[in-house]
Amino acid sequence: KQSQGLVPIKKGNFFLLFWVAWQSSFTLELTLKTFKSTSIWPMDRETIPKRFTDDTLEAPAQPSDLTSSDWRYIERLVRSAVSDQGADELKKLSQTVHSLAP
């Protein structure tokens, strides 16, 4: 078969390249690290679930500190900075500004 054209390789050359990669990758130290990181040995059933838990604390919901004049000012700033007044991004940003308003 044709390769991607990067390096022509024949079946006879493959094993030599494979064997060098195999010997450098499959070491006792790396294998033990792999078992430990997946908690296969020593057994620790919490290793993997710890990776998926979110330890960050969310800020409590607070009422907006913006006054009605603040959000109108922000709306004017946004509109003056955007050249395409019909852009979807502008509409989304404008809706976000309005949702922050008291």
Domain ranges of the chain: 11-52, 68-100
Give yes or no for residue 92 having a pLDDT over 60.
Answer: yes
Asked if 77 and 58 count as a contact pair (C-beta separation under 8 A), the reply is no
| pTM, 2 dp | 0.36
pLDDT of residue 26: 92
Give yes or no for residue 77 having a pLDDT over 70.
Answer: yes
Q: Can you give the length of the chain in residues?
A: 102
Q: How far apart are the first and last CA of the chain?
A: 68
Percent helix, strand and coil across the chain, each to the nearest 5: 55, 0, 45
